[in-house]
A = this chain, B = another copy of it.
Amino acid sequence: MAVYTEVSDEDLTGFLGLYGLGEVTSFKGIAEGVENSNFLLRTTLGTYILTLYEKRVRAADLPFFLGLMQHLSSKGFACPLPVAGKDGESLRALCGRPAVIVSFLDGLSPRRVQPEHCRLLGAALARMHLAGADFALRRENDLSLAGWRPLFELSRARAHEVRPGLAEDLGREIAALEKTWPRDLPSGVIHADLFPDNVFFLGGRLSGFIDFYFACNDLFAYDLAVCLNAWCFEPDNAFNVTKARLLLHSYRAVRPLAPGELEALPLLARGAALRFLLTRLYDWLHCPQGALVKPKDPLEYWDKLRFHRDVRGPGDYGLD
């Protein structure tokens, strides 16, 4: 939630001169995303979002992210569509940063998740996985198994500040996942960060996904595991099996899950919990003192991880 880069009048005018979007009628910073600067741009032709990519997004990954949004849109999957300039290019530079204009996506992200949201989410996630099947570019998931240990090392020495014994617990958990992590399950393009912030609903429908800046090639069921953690726990960290059942059932109705995917789900959900725990732990320990934006509690994800470690089988997720 931030606007980091100030865009001058001259820079904006020069930049928009490269597009055929009519005259600007409004330009406002919006509180969306934590990684980039986002502006609501209204012109005589329509409404758009202008994004300037700040340093946490690697410029080399942008063709993958933007190409994916174009690909999914072309398949009828609703997401922001990068707008091409008069030269046909959608990615260019503004204020020394990579910048892109995308179409404005209607809808509201849920502040409080209801079971119906999970039902709609499951089906949409499966449709996204199918729609991405023939996308030509590839991007490794640098926040999966191979990334966890290096990320952990950046926080290990101070992890006890968050909870005594956390470093030891995490070390054991990473070692256990390294031994058992599944490799031969169906894979393809996944969103990898599908929190409620990134899903819009409108009039009882799911109106689209946004923020594809962690998208990558990985196991489809891992995306489901991320959603289990982000959508199916209550604010007190209690697991809501009704939400999980709706999520998984509606996913399976569009893209059936292989037996191996179902069996691996508890392990994948532990890994997905670990991934967000590790990035939150890093942000927690490296946040400037007194910062206005308080980092998210990493231990929320330790509770979720422990839940999945105790799961005996898919039945605990509401499946038959």
Contacts and interface: CB of A to CB of B under 8 A. Distances in A.
A10 B114 CA distance: 11
A9 B290 contact: no
A106 B30 CA distance: 16
Contacts of A28: 30-32, 40
A108 B28 CA distance: 8
A111 B8 contact: yes
A67 interface: no
Given A107-B26, A110-B9, A289 B290 contact: yes
How many chain copies does the complex carry?
2
Interface string A99-125: 000001011101110000000000000
A190 B72 CA distance: 52
A293 interface: yes
Contacts of A42: 106
A31 B1 CA distance: 9
A4 to B, nearest CB: 10
B7 A107 contact: no
A202 interface: yes
A203 B23 contact: yes
Given A1-B3, A31-B3, A40-B40, A26 B290 contact: no
Given A40-B30, A290-B291, A25 B202 contact: yes
A6 interface: yes
A292 interface: yes
A216 to B, nearest CB: 27
A260 to B, nearest CB: 37
A268 B132 CA distance: 64
Interface in A169-225: 202-203
Contacts of A106: 25-26, 42
A3 B30 CA distance: 10
A112 B8 contact: yes
A166 interface: no
A112 B9 contact: yes
Most chain B beta-carbon neighbours within 10 Å: one of A7, A12, A42: A42
A318 to B, nearest CB: 24
Interface string A287-298: 011111100000
A299 B180 CA distance: 61
A111 B7 contact: yes
28 contacts: A1-B3, A2-B292, A3-B31, A8-B111, A8-B112, A9-B108, A12-B108, A23-B203, A25-B107, A26-B104, A26-B106, A26-B107, A26-B108, A27-B108, A28-B31, A28-B32, A29-B30, A29-B31, A30-B30, A30-B31, A288-B290, A288-B292, A289-B289, A290-B290, A290-B291, A291-B291, A291-B292, A292-B293
Given A2-B292, A25-B202, A42-B106, 8 more contacts: A1-B3, A9-B108, A9-B111, A10-B112, A27-B108, A30-B30, A290-B290, A291-B291
